[in-house]
A and B are shown apart, each in its own frame.
Chain A
Amino acid sequence: MNIDLPFTADRDHSAQVSRVPAWLANLVMLVLYTAFGVIGLELAVPPGYATVLWPASGAALAGLLVCGPRLLPGVMLGSFLVNLYAGGILAQLPRIENWTGVAVAGTIAIGAGLQAFAASAASKRVFGTPIAFTATKQLAGFALLVGPLGCLIAPTVGVGALLFAGIIPASLFTSNWTTWWLGDLLGVVIVLPLALLAPWSPRSIRWSQRAVANFSLPTLLAILVPLALTFYAWKYTSSAAYERSLDAFERLALDHQHSLSFRLESYLQGLDGGAGLFAATDDVTLAEWRAYVDTLNIGSTLPGINGMGFVDSVPFEDMAAFLRDAAQDGVDLQPHPQVDAPANFIIRYIEPIAANEEAVGLNIAFEQNRYDAAIWSRDSGKPTITRRIFLVQDETRTPGFLFLRPLYETGVPLTNTLQRRSAFRGWVYAPFIADLFMDGLTSSQGETLDVQIYDGSRVDAEQLIFSSNDNTAANPTGRFRVVQTLPVYGQLWTIVWQSTPQFEQGAANNEALLIVVGGLVLTALLAFYLHSFSRREEAIRETVALKTREIAASEQRLDDAIENAPIGMALLDLEGRWLKINEAVVQFLGYSREELAEKDFQSITHEDDLGVDIELVQKLLRGEISTYQLEKRYIHKNGHALWGNLSVSLARDIYGQPAYFISQILDINDRKQMDALKSEFVSNVSHELRTPLTSIRGSLGLIVGSLSDTLPDNVRHLLRIAYKNSERLIFLINDILDLEKLNADKITFDNRPHDIAEIVRLSIEENLGFASDYSIALADKTPSTPLHASVDSTRLLQIMANLISNAVKFSPAEGIVEVGVVASGNAATIFVKDTGQGIPSAFTSRIFSPFSQADASATRKKGGTGLGLHITRQLVERMGGKISFETEEGVGTTFFVHFPLHDVQAPEEATDRNLPLALHIEDDEDFCAYLRTALQGVLNVRSVASLEEARAMLTSEIDMIILDLELPDGNGLDLLATLPADWSGSIVAVTASEEAHHASFDAVLVKSKHRDDEVISAIRTMADRHLKMAS
């Protein structure tokens, strides 16, 4: 479908856009950005600073693409507000403490604005306004431009600002930047199309010259809802996963913490064991101590312990004795370091000696931490660890500590410091190197869990006791973190547990990702489907509109064609009223359309043609015919008659019922006038010719007829020639006139039922004279039984005359021409048989054509005009008959004329049942025809030509008898005797004779006295009277 929507889209676009005042637009942008920003924040999943989806960036870009850079203030202000909110500054208003935060927010806002501006400007540059694509490659280019490329600015500015402000460490720059960039990218990808194609936004994307249709509101909702659900589900799942992971980690941390406590406790038990040894004996020798430690097997039972020993608290004055004592024991003590110490706390024993050689003889009071812990332990009686120290025996110089357990005289009260001091014997102690001590504390340590132990109550890198991972200690990046400050045997340790990538991997919430991806994909599919669905709807609507326009145009063309057609075209309802007419009809009839709409065709049809027209209409309605054609006269508005050639057909509805008439009217008036003029001319000429011919034929006829005896032979002979030819001329003129009448359709046939046999006999009689001139005998082959057919008797006689004269002329002298009629099937066949030379086969196809006698010389010899057979055939066919012939050269020719037989009981004239029935007995056929026509509408007239026929027709149905008293087979009075007794009709006698009276006659009309019209009106009066009586 290649509809090119008009460029109103563009005009709408800029018109709509420019109509909105800048402040309003910016306000809207501000609100939208803020709203989107808050949504974005809601989608944040800890612990990052950036969120995975930042819809606001998409909204900002959409705004600038549609409304231009004047929306920048709104964007930047919105971003500023959102970031103030995110930084918790808004909550503090009107107090502002965190000016850094404000500055950062401002910078981020500038970054957001810059990004939106740059992306929109680039897009406009490359793709124009409104955005126009013509290929998928361009779409990809656009996506690349506003997406990955376009989203570079804000993260850079934003995370840079955060970094600059010290809010995030440099180590986290990349991850934050990436998340920010992804968030903006996703925001653009999701929000930009929605914003550009939202139902209320001006059409701002064009694809291949066509504006891309916006989403309909339902579509938009159908996209937003799954999208929102997706992100909600994602957030929920992510949070839940996070909580789970956090939970798991905390358990790990707790587990670790317990392991630590347990380990320390077990070491204390070791020390307690040592203390027990000392309590059990007065003095513990080195060997005894060594044995004890060996038995302990601290290597495997107390992992991490560097050794176990005893620290003696030696008063300064007792130092020498102490040394002597130790030497005796085999312990060679070299007290060290040689510094001024507040006391002498000498390590007397430490086993295994191998790892602790440097510790033997060490005065732990030399160092503050050791000293403090020792003093405190002595005075409190509680086992104590030192603060962070470096063991002298530790070559690696890594942090460590001492675990000191005070030992007292047994059996003495130890309730206070003084008592303890006085009972004090020394400390059983264990040195620890932190790394060794912590090694393998739990399986998770160093694997899923990184731990840092700090001496003190806070995280202080200077006081790091132990770190399972030096990198993370400096740059803590673990997602999960537990920090605890615990009292550990007189000290405070701050322990930081952090999740390792290994832990985080294990805790990865792939399901959330799946949800996001799946949700986005489904939403995209849904959006695409819905959009194409509504586009299809729109396409269908456009197609329908187009098709409707096309149909309307085509209808218009059709209407125009009909309207301007050169022939009149009209539709009429079943009553004949004009429904629709074209210009040609208007011009033809002279009425305006409005005037014609009031009329029906009957009112503008000439009265003489109306009957036939209506009859044909009725046949059409009855389904007897499917169309008809009629040459008829219409009455022009000016009153004059116009000839038109009417063609009518009937349109039916879907049920097959008549619906309306379809008429075409061709103006044939000119042709008719021409024909009339031609006819008239021919007629005139023929008549003009006849007048002199009257004299010629008359004179010659008289001479030849009555004066020939007085003439010399040669004169008579010549005159005879002249006479014959003058007759021939007359025949020719008659034939020409007949032909002209036939062509002009002027010949009317008075077809009535006749006894064909009778007419044939009559024709034989009429032509006997002619035949005898040629010495030909006519043989009567007619049957005695009547054969009734509907013919015009005058014309039939003319036909017979032609056929007989041809037969006679072409028969050899002394020949016989047979004339007769037979019944064959349901037809009467008249035959005329001669014994002439026959018709040569070359001419058989042409004998009915005018002027085509077989032989021109034969024509001259035989007389005749050459028109005879042509006219004869026309006459035969016009009467509903057929003419044919059989010929055999040298033998003869027979012509056949067939007429369908019909039952005399069923007359052919259309009769109006309501009119009285009259029987007209008259042998003058002209008068019969005249009377019948004149009394149309008054009487139904049946005519017969003889008494015999009349008797056959006399039934009680006859209301009136019009009786010529001078009939060929008798006097009309004879009929009266045969009337039924109960017959009560009227009798009108029409006679040439004056003396005709009879009681039965209701009226007598004398032909010579009364004009024909007087006869008619008299009969009419009687008919009316009869009707009155009857009703």
Chain B
Amino acid sequence: MATGNKILYIDDDDDVREVASLSLSLDADLEVRTSSSGREGIALAAEWKPDLVLLDVMMPEMDGPETLKHIKADPELASIPVVFITARAQVHEVHELRAIGAAGVISKPFDPMTLAAEVRQFLG
């Protein structure tokens, strides 16, 4: 059970990142940082040690699943739950993502008013 409130959100779409951050910040207890690429995100995670990583799937250079792999490969980061947030959230796609180690999947477009609560579920 992950406790804590540090959320790292990795997504290449700036607007979505901003909307998401704002949504999450409606929950005052959550501390949110974002990154625009997988590489940058991993580096940030290594340094900041978030309690949860929110990860977009469709990203250039290193897509979501690959980013996940790297996270899980790093022993220091492996235990951090990773939740995908993606427009591709059909049943089989969800299964695939779970299969590679995702803790869960949140679908886009999300409801900004409930995003924080959904994310909290994964925190414990």
A interface with B by C-beta (< 8 Å): 683, 686-687, 690-699, 701-702, 705-706, 730, 741, 748, 926-927, 929-930, 933, 991-995, 1006-1009, 1011-1013
Whether A701 and B111, one on each chain, are in contact in the complex, defined by CB atoms closer than 8 angstroms, is yes
What's the least CB distance linking A792 to chain B, in Å? 10
B81 lies within 8 A of A702 (CB): no
Q: B residues within 8 A CB of A692?
A: 15
Complex contact B108–A694 (CB within 8 A): yes
Give the size of the chain B interface in residues (CB under 8 angstroms): 37
Chain B residues in 8 Å Cβ range of A691: 13, 16, 58, 87, 108
- A698 near B1: Cβ-Cβ < 8 Å: no
Interface string of B82-124 (1 = CB under 8 A from A): 0000011011101100111111000011111100000000101
Given A698-B110, A1011-B101, answer yes or no on A706-B26 (Cβ-Cβ < 8 Å): yes
Query: Residue A699 contacts which of B2, B19, B81, B92 (CB distance < 8 angstroms)?
Result: B19
Q: Which residues of A contact B2 (CB under 8 A)?
A: 1008
What is the bound-complex CA distance between A690 and B24, given in angstroms?
19
Q: How far is the CA of A696 from the CA of B98 in the complex (A)?
A: 28
Q: Do residues B87 and A698 form an inter-chain contact, with CB atoms below 8 A?
A: no
User: Which residues of chain A come closer than 8 Å to B22, judged between CB atoms?
Assistant: 698, 702
Please report the C-alpha to C-alpha distance between residue A694 and residue B81 in the assembled complex, in whole angstroms.
23
A-B contact pairs, 15 of them (CB 8 A): A687-B88, A690-B109, A693-B108, A695-B13, A697-B111, A698-B20, A702-B19, A702-B26, A706-B26, A748-B91, A927-B98, A995-B1, A1008-B79, A1008-B103, A1012-B99
Nearest A residue to B121, CB-CB: A992
Interface centre among B79, B103, B108, B109 (most CB of A within 10 A): B109
* Distance between Cα atoms of A730 and B99 in the complex (Å): 28
Q: Is the interface of B mostly helix, strand, loop or mixed?
A: loop
* Residues of chain A lying within 8 A (CB to CB) of residue B58: 687, 691
Which residues on the A side are within 8 Å of B102 (C-beta)?
1012
Q: A690-B109, A701-B111, A706-B26 are in contact. Are A695 and B99 (CB under 8 A)?
A: no
| B23 in contact (CB, < 8 A) | yes
* Distance to closest chain B CB from A469 (angstroms): 136
Q: By CB atoms of chain B within 10 A, which of A741, A933, A992 has the most?
A: A992
A1008:B20 contact, CB within 8 angstroms: no
Q: How far is the CA of A695 from the CA of B1 in the complex (A)?
A: 31
Give the complex CA separation of A642 and B57 in angstroms: 30
- In the bound complex, what is the Cα–Cα distance between A683 and B90 (angstroms)? 10
Q: Roughly how many angstroms separate A1011 CA and B92 CA in the complex, as a whole number? A: 16
In order of increasing CB-CB distance, the 5 nearest A-B pairs are A698-B19, A1011-B101, A695-B15, A690-B87, A993-B1
B72 located at the interface, meaning its Cβ lies under 8 Å from any Cβ of chain A in the complex: yes
User: A1013: which B residues are within 8 A, CB to CB?
Assistant: 99-101
Q: Say how far B11's CB is from chain A's closest CB, in angstroms.
A: 10
**A to B contact number (C-beta, < 8 Å):** 103
Nearest neighbor of B26 in chain A, beta-carbon distance:
A706
Docked CA distance A705–B26 (Å): 10
Minimal beta-carbon separation of A358 from chain B (angstroms) = 165
In whole angstroms, how far apart are the Cα atoms of A1007 and B94 in the complex?
Answer: 15
Closest to A699 in B: B19
Q: Which residue of A lies closest to B17 (CB)?
A: A695
* Complex: A911 Cα to B103 Cα, angstroms: 29
* Contacts known (A1008-B1, A1012-B101); A698 close to B124, Cβ less than 8 A: no
1/0 per residue, CB under 8 A from A, across B11-55: the answer is: 001011011101100100000000000000000000000000000
Task: Write the nearest CB–CB distance from B81 to chain A, whole angstroms.
Answer: 4
Q: A687-B88, A1008-B81, A1008-B103 are in contact. Are A694 and B1 (CB under 8 A)?
A: no
Are the C-beta atoms of A701 and B94 separated by less than 8 Å?
no
- Give Cα A992–Cα B26 distance, bound, in whole angstroms: 25
Q: How far is the CB of A608 from chain B (nearest CB, A)?
A: 12
Task: Give the distance to chain B from A411, nearest Cβ to Cβ, in Å.
Answer: 177
B98:A930 contact, CB within 8 angstroms: yes
State whether A929 touches B91 (Cβ < 8 A): yes
Residues of A within 8 A of B108 (CB): 690-691, 693-694
Report the separation of the CA atoms of residues A930 and B100 in the bound assembly, to the nearest whole angstrom: 13
- Please name all residues of chain B whose beta carbon is closer than 8 Å to the beta carbon of A695 when the two chains form the complex: 13, 15-16, 18-19
Q: Is the CB of A698 within 8 A of B112?
A: yes
CB distance from B118 to the nearest CB of A (A): 13
Name the one of B13, B20, B79, B100 contacting A1009, with C-beta atoms under 8 angstroms: B79
Complex interface: chain B residues within 8 A of A730 (CB): 109
Shortest distance in angstroms between B121's beta carbon and chain A's nearest beta carbon?
9
> Across the interface, which residues of B come within 8 angstroms of A693, CB to CB?
108-109
In the bound assembly, the distance between CA atoms of A701 and B99 in angstroms comes to: 32
Contacts of A701 in B (CB 8 A): 23, 111-113
Contacts of B91 in A (CB 8 A): 748, 926, 929
Chain B residue nearest to A1015 (CB atoms) is B98
How far apart sit A694 and B19, CA to CA, in the bound complex (Å)?
A: 8
Q: How far is the CA of A992 from the CA of B52 in the complex (A)?
A: 13
**Does B112 contact A1012, Cβ atoms closer than 8 Å?**
no
B112 contacts across to A, CB distance below 8 A: 697-699, 701-702, 705
- The answer on a CB contact under 8 Å between A1011 and B100 is yes
Q: List chain B residues, Cβ under 8 A from A1006.
A: 1
Residues of chain A within 8 A (CB-CB) of B94 are 926
State in angstroms the CA–CA spacing of A697 and B100 once bound together. 30
- Output the nearest chain A residue to B98 by Cβ-Cβ distance: A1012
Q: Nearest CB to that of A991 among chain B residues?
A: B1
Closest chain A residue to B111, Cβ basis:
A701
> How far apart sit A993 and B3, CA to CA, in the bound complex (Å)?
10
In angstroms, Cα B57 to Cα A694, docked, is: 14
